[in-house]
Structure 1
């Protein structure tokens, strides 16, 4: 959901050695690939790891459709936590040395065009007479265009947009605490330490306002990603590694507490605490491997395309995927495996169209308008 191009490090004078090693100017294509993996994990969960509308789309439970894979698909929801670790890394990278106006223009131009298109597209499809899904009222749909539907208590057009609300709050905190005063290693470390402590206090205080502002259940993943960017700048930074370690320990706790469930007849899926912890560890280790340069060999150009498709795919795959699953499986009678594969392929194709005809056209224009001289 964010760009993965490393900004050039400032060049030190000839007679002065830099205090810290700086990252090389390169594109971290492995990070693009990891983003797509996280998006496919979430899609697997939505198509085969839960109930609700998925059961309606398939005509029976996902467990019945995928008896061998349903239990694994249930862990796909943890792709969101992986996304948040990536986001922490990328936002720190893109915000380093950038003024607030440029930072805001970059984030808004990256998120809004595909989001607006997805809102309108899903609303239009759900309003079709042959699509048997509830469409929101025009008023609620218009509110969804602001990305503020959750705090306003308005129904969501896109089920996945709750993660964007978490992202927006992270952007705001990072902008106020790091971008506005100017990013330095010391300031970023203080930001991570302060947010970690404040989020823990908010959790103990049980005050809704603090929870909204500090996002305690997801803060460790964003903070861990920020710490990993500090590792990317200097792998010998003990403080950065400490931030990553503490963030993992707290993050896996929140993930297990929120996603583990004992066997219950109404539960969407059954997960083990060990499985959850391992996938959270995978997210941290994968981003750490990229930060340390261990995956620099994965420099294929197609990974850049994969990264570009991730955000629009993530936005449209759930709701429109239900429609495609119902049409292919119930309408045409295709087997579950073929339906699953074709649905993923169709959503990737739609993501490519949104990237080509919406993002590539509107993102530069919106960025230029927001970062103009006024």
Structure 2
């Protein structure tokens, strides 16, 4: 069957809460790891908390699941141009601030963002968010996830261009998984770079959960989500950094953590999370993206300047307050105003393109214009 675009629905505040929790996991992972020292031997420096935040990088898994859900929801019924405008307005204003704050934070402590590059040469590609594609290192570690997200946006744009329906979504999801696995089996790096098999299960599962949420559960969608869960658990266990290695513990906790994130999204998909709907979650959700972008810069500066003057717990508290305060200021003073200013201008440019494109195509393909060009 062909599915009509879903009707507008109230904001899913439970997703705002989950996005905020995911950001907190990442923030604590970085802050405690830096302050206490990375790795199991340093857990005693901040007892209990360090053992938990050791696995805070699982916040990224939850982010990617939510992204699959939300991006499909926001893309439904839109054209490629409208989707591109909405994503550009959403991700770039705060990102530009984050990159600029990053280079300033390095200068504040007398370091350069990328040792092998002139700071300006590193800064400018990072401002485009395309630095990974041209081989320039990220100025902040967390930016690698944005490059993965851009892959997803490009792929979903193809689906939008084709026209989103229920059947096409399912075909797209299954095809993405299978083609990624086949490319990996054949060691065909161009296709694996596009389809990113280790992270595809999260986005595909998020899309499946949205379809369950919007159109109701069925065995096919649950099987797709279950297959994605199995693949995600396998891939995630192989991504441990040497400094995070924890023999006989890492595999079990990671498997449990990935499983828990999938269960959370299954609860959202089946409307069982809707009781958790507080207006404040929307505010927390608005802080999530700027907090994610700026927390490493803030934490680095405070750690370098204050670590010899403050205890670990005090430094952690001050770092959290500073990061949340900065995120709030970025959101209110920069992100919101820039979004209001940029969005209508991009839409105007898109509208101009839509007006002129048909005439350009007609002129290009007209037999008369071809003859005149030959003459």
* Common topology (TM > 0.5): yes
Q: Which residue of structure 2 lines up, in the alignment, with residue 42 of structure 1?
A: 26
CA contact (8 A) 1:28 1:290 kept: no
Q: Distance in 1 between matches of 2:187 and 2:51?
A: 33
Q: Distance in 1 between matches of 2:4 and 2:72?
A: 17
Of the candidates 208, 211, 223, which is equivalent to residue 189 of structure 2?
A: 208
Q: Displacement of 1:20 after TM fit? A: 9.0
State yes or no: 1:133 paired with 2:111. Answer: yes
TM-superposition CA deviations, 1:40-92 (whole Å, max 9, x none): 1111211224xxxx26999xx85353243322211111111110000000000
Q: Distance in 2 between matches of 1:165 and 1:305?
A: 26
Structure 1 residues 19 and 157: alpha-carbon distance in aligned structure 2, compared to 1, 3 A threshold: closer
Q: Distance in 2 between matches of 1:34 and 1:20?
A: 28
Q: Distance in 2 between matches of 1:369 and 1:289?
A: 39
Q: Distance in 2 between matches of 1:201 and 1:217?
A: 13
Aligned residues: 341
CA contact (8 A) 2:4 2:165 kept: no
* Structure 1 residues not aligned, in runs of 5+: 1-17
* Structure 2 residues not aligned, in runs of 5+: 353-375
Q: Which residue of structure 1 lines up, in the alignment, with residue 346 of structure 2?
A: 370
Which structure has greater helix proportion? 2
Q: Displacement of 1:267 after TM fit? A: 2.5
CA contact (8 A) 2:290 2:327 kept: yes
Q: Displacement of 1:231 after TM fit? A: 0.6
Aligned residues: CA RMSD: 2.2
Q: Please report the TM-score for the alignment, with normalisation by the length of structure 1.
A: 0.86
TM-superposition CA deviations, 1:233-290 (whole Å, max 9, x none): 123332221211111111111011222x7xxxx5234242121011111111112212
Q: Which residue of structure 2 lines up, in the alignment, with residue 169 of structure 1?
A: 151
State yes or no: 1:283 paired with 2:264. Answer: no
Q: Displacement of 1:185 after TM fit? A: 0.4
CA contact (8 A) 1:30 1:295 kept: yes
State yes or no: 1:68 paired with 2:48. Answer: yes
CA contact (8 A) 2:102 2:139 kept: yes
Q: Which residue of structure 2 lines up, in the alignment, with residue 110 of structure 1?
A: 90
CA contact (8 A) 2:36 2:50 kept: no
Q: Distance in 2 between matches of 1:121 and 1:363?
A: 19
Q: Displacement of 1:126 after TM fit? A: 1.4
Structure 1 residues 352 and 312: alpha-carbon distance in aligned structure 2, compared to 1, 3 A threshold: same
